[in-house]
């Protein structure tokens, strides 16, 4: 069993198309345990009910944006150790710095490639094979 197959992933993005693209890319990388949420509030509910090892969250979402969601994940003892990758538009330096200060493990710029997603995840977990 590969590392990817053991990792529970939570995708949090308000755009259905984006969630589907992320899920497809994760499956191509060997991930099997993938859950999706449409916003930070739903993501937080899922994380408190069943913590995941990796969260890939969009920044700009209704109800609760990615940085507020990240703060809640880091504040909860049951979820604070989850790896957190934030999705953002390319070139948003201020957001990248704020996400890092709040405890994001990595940033993935949109639009992304499978190779860039793999690199972002491997920077946190090591080689996926």
Residue 18 pLDDT: 93
Mean pLDDT of 85-93: 82
Contact indicator for 48, 79 with CB cutoff of 8 Å? yes
Residue 94 pLDDT: 85
Strand partners, 54: 9, 83
pLDDT higher than threshold 70 for residue 91: no
Residue 90 pLDDT: 66
pLDDT higher than threshold 90 for residue 80: yes
Mean pLDDT of 97-111: 93
State the helix-helix crossing angle for 66-75 and 40-49, rounded to 10 degrees: 20
CA–CA dist 125, 7 (Å, integer): 10
The answer to whether the peptide bond before residue 100 is cis (omega within 30 degrees of 0) is no
Residue 92's pLDDT band (cuts 50, 70, 90)? confident
pLDDT higher than threshold 70 for residue 108: yes
């Amino acid at each position: 069993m590969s590392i990817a197959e053991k990792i529970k992933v939570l995708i949090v993005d308000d755009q259905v198309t984006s969630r589907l693209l992320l899920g497809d890319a994760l499956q191509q990388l060997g991930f099997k345990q993938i859950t999706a949420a449409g916003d930070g509030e739903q993501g937080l509910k899922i994380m408190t009910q069943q913590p995941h090892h990796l969260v890939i969250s969009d920044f700009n979402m209704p109800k609760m944006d990615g940085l507020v969601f990240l703060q809640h994940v880091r504040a909860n003892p049951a979820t604070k150790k989850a790896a957190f990758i934030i999705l953002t538009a390319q070139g948003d330096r201020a957001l990248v710095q704020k996400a890092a200060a709040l405890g994001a493990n990595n940033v993935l710029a949109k639009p992304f490639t499978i190779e860039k997603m793999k690199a972002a995840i491997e920077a946190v977990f090591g080689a996926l094979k």
